[in-house]
Amino acid sequence: MYGCPEAIKLIIRSWPGGMGIGQGAEKEWKECLACYGLSDETVLNFKGNPIDKIDLVLKAAIPIIIVAGDADTIVPYEENSAILADYYREKGGKIIIIIKSGVGHHPHSLEDPKPIVDFLVENCIS
């Protein structure tokens, strides 16, 4: 997955591609396509997105926490974290989503990081 525990980029068509509701990033999109040897056409069937590898995370029973703004137009929640959350829960994975109402891509994190710290402490393997 690309990014911190917030605004996770899971499908390259969303970001940097901008092929959904997000705005995309032209320079990064060209770099991404070149890196994977893709075109605007072949990317539609690309199976190397981070979300395509999520079963490995499930198999390892890794808990996930995501902090996301519901007004993010750069990495839209609906095209990234929401898809992960639905799939992860459906398959029995542990995932916590903290939605920041009316917040876009920035600022990341929370004013009070206690819920994140608590999650990390609770799920830390010694």
- Residue 7's pLDDT band (boundaries 50, 70, 90)? low
Whole-number pLDDT of residue 47: 96
- Among 83, 49, 90, residue whose Cα is nearest residue 66: 83
pLDDT above 70: percentage of residues in the chain: 93
The C-alpha torsion from 16 through 50 and 119 to 109, rounded to 10°, is -10
More confident residue, 7 or 27: 27
What distances in angstroms separate CA 2 from CA 94, 102, 117, 122, 126, one per listed residue? 19, 23, 21, 24, 26
- pTM of this prediction? 0.83
Do residues 94 and 66 make contact, with C-beta atoms less than 8 angstroms apart?
Answer: no
Q: For the chain, give the percent of residues with pLDDT over 90.
A: 82
